């Protein structure tokens, strides 16, 4: 086992500018890489990443140092009954009847309100004017928190995500994340106490009323859950929506097809998740020594799983570097379930519990945006540039269009 000879280093500027070329080069090297600066083993082939997500020997104890300092203890680092009972508290709100009847109107309203701000102008930046706000506004409303605090939550979740992705241990980013933890606790704890006395029809009330094995969750426990939902539900869907438009604008024929047939939106979402995933890296910590292709990963070490690479494994996907809404090796009926072919929601017991909520947000958001922007195209002279290592997405998607109805 050696360091990959040709792929640029994960922490290098070349990698940050274009991880996809680097991923491609990795497939010519050994399947298991030791990264000295990150103090982590790295896997990137589809089967190895899928195994790390599914095999319980790969624990999520790493979230103890990755996320607990900023969120508190969350379901991401739990397993067994402790995990499944808490997960079951929020799962119904994110799928099926409850999602359709209670929260779809919230999603539709938030999309409309954001688009109303620019629909008559003929231009927009789909990241700054829409994607960045939409999912966070939705989750704040689902929790029954004050709508006037949308911007405040925006800042908090950006800081939390930066903390999570702080691979080079920038002290300013670390300090900002810890400040956010304190601010969010100061904000949330009094609201949680008040909500316990006045339960409503919202998701925060569900958490406040829930009993886990006969005891109510503590204020701190609920605050940690809310903190996770903001981060997990915000940045990811934000980057997915921006990525969808980035990819479609780069493939005008596919944009035309989706505009004409909106039932293709789930396909565009699934292919965007595969091609340009919002979360590129996820870590695991083996409970015991594990033999993988290429060597042994020792118990207690950190294993970094490169989702962005696995989703482009040539042994798994035909023409992996081609964005193709019509590809036949990425079925949409499973793309938002734990049987998904792409790995962008992970797999196994921690498979993204918000996947169907994200799908509903994307279906509504993309549909309304296409209606408002009949001839959308990239503003002249602009390109879509992606940024981020851990989570990744377009920095901006500046577009112009003829306002609908003119
Ligand atoms: C495109 C959008 C999204 C992507 C790409 C995404 C990605 C992921 C991934 C990769 C994981 C697994 C983490 C791991 O195994 O270590 C995860 C878990 C999770 N996601 Fe999402 N997510 C998205 C949307 C959402 C939304 C909208 C919510 C809810 C508001 C959400 C809430 C969660 C939660 C609570 C977990 C932890 C589940 C558990 O530990 O059992 N996600 N997500």
> How would DSSP label each residue in 9-43?
PTTSHHHHH-HHHHHHHHTTS-SEEEETTTTEEEE
Q: Is the pLDDT of residue 4 over 50?
A: no
* Candidate from 352, 363, 365, 391 with most ligand 1 atoms within 8 A of CB, to mutate: 352
Sheet of 123-125, strand order:
123-125, 398-400, 377-378
* Candidate from 137, 226, 232, 363 with most ligand 1 atoms within 8 A of CB, to mutate: 232
**Ranges of each domain in the chain:** 72-276+307-400
E strands, 48-130, where?
A: 58-59, 123-125
Determine whether the shortest distance from the Cβ of 270 to ligand 1 is under 6 A. no
* Candidate from 236, 266, 284 with most ligand 1 atoms within 8 A of CB, to mutate: 236
How far away, in angstroms, is 283 Cα from ligand 1 center?
Answer: 14
Determine whether the shortest distance from the Cβ of 74 to ligand 1 is under 6 A. no
Q: What is the pLDDT of residue 82?
A: 87
Closest residue to atom 39 of ligand 1, CA basis: 350
Q: Is the pLDDT of residue 3 over 70?
A: no
Q: pLDDT of 18-42, one tens digit each?
A: 999 999 999 999 999 999 988 999 9
* Helix (H), strand (E) at residue 52: helix 46-54
**Is residue 7 a contact partner of residue 22, using CB atoms and an 8 Å limit?**
yes
Closest residue to atom 20 of ligand 1, CA basis: 352
**Is residue 207 a contact partner of residue 142, using CB atoms and an 8 Å limit?**
no
* Candidate from 345, 356, 357, 390 with most ligand 1 atoms within 8 A of CB, to mutate: 345
How far away, in angstroms, is 382 Cα from ligand 1 center?
Answer: 31
Q: pLDDT of 169-225, one tens digit each?
A: 899 999 999 999 999 999 999 999 999 999 999 999 999 998 877 777 899 999 999
Determine whether the shortest distance from the Cβ of 232 to ligand 1 is under 6 A. yes
Which atom of ligand 1 lies at the shortest distance from residue 63's CA?
Answer: 16
Nearest CA to 304 out of 172, 165, 170 is that of: 165
Q: pLDDT of 52-93, one tens digit each?
A: 999 999 999 999 998 899 899 999 999 998 899 888 888 888
Q: What is the pLDDT of residue 210?
A: 85
Determine whether the shortest distance from the Cβ of 139 to ligand 1 is under 6 A. yes
Q: What is the pLDDT of residue 1?
A: 52
Report how far Cα 320 is from the mean position of its chain's Cα atoms.
21
- Residue 76 tokens read as 């991401």
Q: What is the pLDDT of residue 404?
A: 81
| Tokens 């691979």 -> residue | 167
Q: What is the pLDDT of residue 233?
A: 87
Determine whether the shortest distance from the Cβ of 357 to ligand 1 is under 6 A. yes
Closest residue to atom 4 of ligand 1, CA basis: 236
Q: What is the pLDDT of residue 348?
A: 95
**Is residue 392 a contact partner of residue 19, using CB atoms and an 8 Å limit?**
yes
Determine whether the shortest distance from the Cβ of 310 to ligand 1 is under 6 A. no
Q: Which fold has domain 72-276+307-400?
A: Cytochrome p450 (1.10.630)
Q: pLDDT of 282-300, one tens digit each?
A: 999 999 999 999 999 999 9
Q: State what percent of residues in the chain have pLDDT above 90.
A: 80
Q: How far is 290 from 299, CA to CA, in rounded Å? A: 7
306 φ/ψ angles, rounded to the nearest 5 degrees: -90, 95
Q: pLDDT of 120-139, one tens digit each?
A: 999 999 999 999 999 999 99
Tell me the whole-structure pTM to 2 decimals: 0.95
Q: pLDDT of 260-285, one tens digit each?
A: 999 999 999 999 999 999 999 999 99
DSSP per-residue codes, 330-372: S-TTTTTSTT-SS-TT--GGGS-TTHHHHHHHHHHHHHHHHHH
Across the strands, what pairs with 290?
A: 297
């Amino acid at each position: 086992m050696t360091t990959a000879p040709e792929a640029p280093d994960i922490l290098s500027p070349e990698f940050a500018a274009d991880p996809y070329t680097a991923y491609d080069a990795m497939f010519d090297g050994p399947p298991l890489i030791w990264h000295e600066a990150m103090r982590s083993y790295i896997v990137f082939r589809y089967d190895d990443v899928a195994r790390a997500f599914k095999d319980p020997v790969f624990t999520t104890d790493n979230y103890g140092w990755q996320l607990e300092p900023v969120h508190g203890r969350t379901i991401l680092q739990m397993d067994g009954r402790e995990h499944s009972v808490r997960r079951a508290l929020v799962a119904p709100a994110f799928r099926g009847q409850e999602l359709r009847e209670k929260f779809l109107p919230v999603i539709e309203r938030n999309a409309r309100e954001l688009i109303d701000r620019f629909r008559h102008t003929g231009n927009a930046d789909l990241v700054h004017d829409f994607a960045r706000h939409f999912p966070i506004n939705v989750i704040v409303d689902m929790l029954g928190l004050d709508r006037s605090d949308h911007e405040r939550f925006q800042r908090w979740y950006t800081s939390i995500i930066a903390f999570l992705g702080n691979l080079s241990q920038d002290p300013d980013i670390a300090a900002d994340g810890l400040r956010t933890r304190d601010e969010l606790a100061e904000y949330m704890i009094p609201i949680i106490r008040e909500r316990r006395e006045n339960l409503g029809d919202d998701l925060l009330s569900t958490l406040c009323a829930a009993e886990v094995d006969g005891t109510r969750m503590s204020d701190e426990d609920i605050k940690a859950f809310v903190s996770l939902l903001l981060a997990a539900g915000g940045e990811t869907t934000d980057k997915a929506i921006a990525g969808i438009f980035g990819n479609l604008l780069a493939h005008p024929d596919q944009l035309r097809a989706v505009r004409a047939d909106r039932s293709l939106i789930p396909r565009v979402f699934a292919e965007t998740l595969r091609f340009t995933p919002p979360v590129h890296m996820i870590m695991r910590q083996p409970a015991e020594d594990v033999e993988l292709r290429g060597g042994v990963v020792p118990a207690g070490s950190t294993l970094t799983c490169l989702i962005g690479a696995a989703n482009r494994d040539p042994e798994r996907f035909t023409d992996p570097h081609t964005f193709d809404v019509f590809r036949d090796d990425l079925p949409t009926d499973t793309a938002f379930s734990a049987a998904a072919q792409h790995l962008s929601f992970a797999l196994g017991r921690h498979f993204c519990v918000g996947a169907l909520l994200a799908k509903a947000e994307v279906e509504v958001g993309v549909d309304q945006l296409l209606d408002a922007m009949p001839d959308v195209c990239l503003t002249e002279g602009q390109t879509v540039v992606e940024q981020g290592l851990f989570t990744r997405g377009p920095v901006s998607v500046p577009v112009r269009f003829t306002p609908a109805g003119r």
